[in-house]
Amino acid sequence: MAIGITVITTTNRVRRFFQTDAASFEQIFSSLQRSAQLFSGTPLIIGSAGQTEVFAAAAIACLEIETTHDLSGYLPSPGNLTLTALTAEQYAEPFAGHLEGEHFTRRIAFFFTGGYVLYTLAEGIRKPALAERLMSLTSLFERPMITYRLAKGGVGLMNPHAMTRFVITPGVPDLPRDAWLADTA
């Protein structure tokens, strides 16, 4: 078994690493238990005998770990929202989304400083109170990190502080009272 590690920076640079040593997997996986602090200031260091790379935490847009290993025990619960990464082609396909009872499906495109865009499918359970739904919408930028699943297996971690905006399609039916109502030009 091997794992792939991808670091996407706020300069839209992508660095890929791999690990095939099973003894090293546990160290990498257990560090995910502290993933809420991943973007809080301590640099991310990825090293080998050949070289060592040090990434400033604020300069990381996303960190992805590709693996077939179940990492759910190492990460905080996603709560009522599950995000799955999509390719640009998948995101471009026609999509109506749905809201049936308390279950919803939407697409969310996350935009980061430097131009990187992460396309996701969002599935979840709609919170019953309007105030809770509005808080879920507006609090994404304030979270220490946002997790998403990779289509080929594994997880991704987003740095909300590196996000510039996100676009939800179709639009959200419940908007805050102070939201500006306008269509895209």
The tokens for 149 are 């699943």
Q: Are 158 and 109 in contact (CB under 8 A)?
A: no
| Share above pLDDT 70 across residues of the chain, in percent, rounded to a whole number | 95
Closest CA to 86 of 115, 110, 67: 110
Counted domains in the chain: 1
Structural domain contains residue 174? no
List % helix, strand, coil for the chain (3-state, nearest 5). 25, 40, 40
55 φ/ψ angles, rounded to the nearest 5 degrees: -110, 130
**pLDDT score for 59:** 95
Check if the beta carbon of residue 147 is closer than 8 Å to that of residue 83. Answer: yes
Examine residue 80 and state whether it is found in any structural domain, yes or no: yes
Q: Is residue 185 part of a domain?
A: no
Is 179 within a domain?
Answer: no
Residue 20 domain-assigned (yes or no): yes
Q: Please give the model's pTM, rounded to 2 decimal places.
A: 0.90
CA–CA gap between residue 114 and residue 10 (Å, rounded): 5
Q: Dump pLDDT digits (tens) for 165-182.
A: 999 998 877 788 888 889
Name the residue range of residue 49's domain. 3-169
